[in-house]
Amino acid sequence: MVLLASWICSACLLAEAAARPEALADIGRVITNRSYLKAASPETIIGRVFNATFGTRQLSLRCVRRSCLASLVFVTSLSLIYTHGQLLLVIPELSSGPYPLPHPPPRIVVVAVVLFGGYFLGDYIAIAKTRWLLSRVHLYKGGLSLLGLYLSDVILSLFIGSGVWVLPFIILSAAAGVDFPGPDHTGSDPVIVRAFYDTSIPPPLIAIETALLSSVWTALIFLAALALKVIPPLQVFLGWYFDVSKHPLRAIGMVAWAIVILCGVLWSLIIRFA
pLDDT in tens, 96-134: 666 667 777 787 888 888 888 888 888 999 999 999 988
Residues 124 and 27 in one domain: no
Whole-number mean pLDDT of the chain? 75
Amino acid at 236: V
Residues 85 and 26 in one domain: no
Residues 58 and 88 in one domain: yes
Rounded to the nearest 10 degrees, the angle between the axes of helix 121-134 and helix 61-83 is 120
Residue ranges making up the domain that contains 251: 1-33+242-274
Window from 72-76, 153-157, 246-250 with minimum mean pLDDT: 246-250
Query: How many Cβ atoms sit within 10 Å of the Cβ of residue 269?
Result: 10
Please tell me the distance from the alpha carbon of residue 87 to that of residue 69, in angstroms, as a whole number: 17
Residues 104 and 165 in one domain: yes
pLDDT at 124: 92
pLDDT at 64: 92
Residues 140 and 257 in one domain: no
Length of the chain: 274
CB 263 within 8 A of CB 1: yes
Classify residue 176 by burial, with Cβ atoms within 10 Å: 0-12, 13-18, 19+. Answer: buried
Residues 62 and 111 in one domain: yes
In the predicted structure, residue 33 carries a pLDDT above the cut 50 = yes
Residues 185 and 77 in one domain: yes
Q: Which of 52, 38, 16, 2 is nearest to 242 (CA)?
A: 16
Query: How many Cβ atoms sit within 10 Å of the Cβ of residue 60?
Result: 12
Please tell me the distance from the alpha carbon of residue 208 to that of residue 120, in angstroms, as a whole number: 12
Residues 160 and 270 in one domain: no
Residues 4 and 85 in one domain: no
Residues 235 and 248 in one domain: no
In the predicted structure, residue 36 carries a pLDDT above the cut 60 = no
> CA torsion angle for 183, 211, 89, 177 (degrees, to 10)?
30
Please tell me the distance from the alpha carbon of residue 63 to that of residue 34, in angstroms, as a whole number: 37
Report the domain count for the chain: 2
Please tell me the distance from the alpha carbon of residue 192 to that of residue 59, in angstroms, as a whole number: 32
Residues 133 and 29 in one domain: no
pLDDT at 237: 63
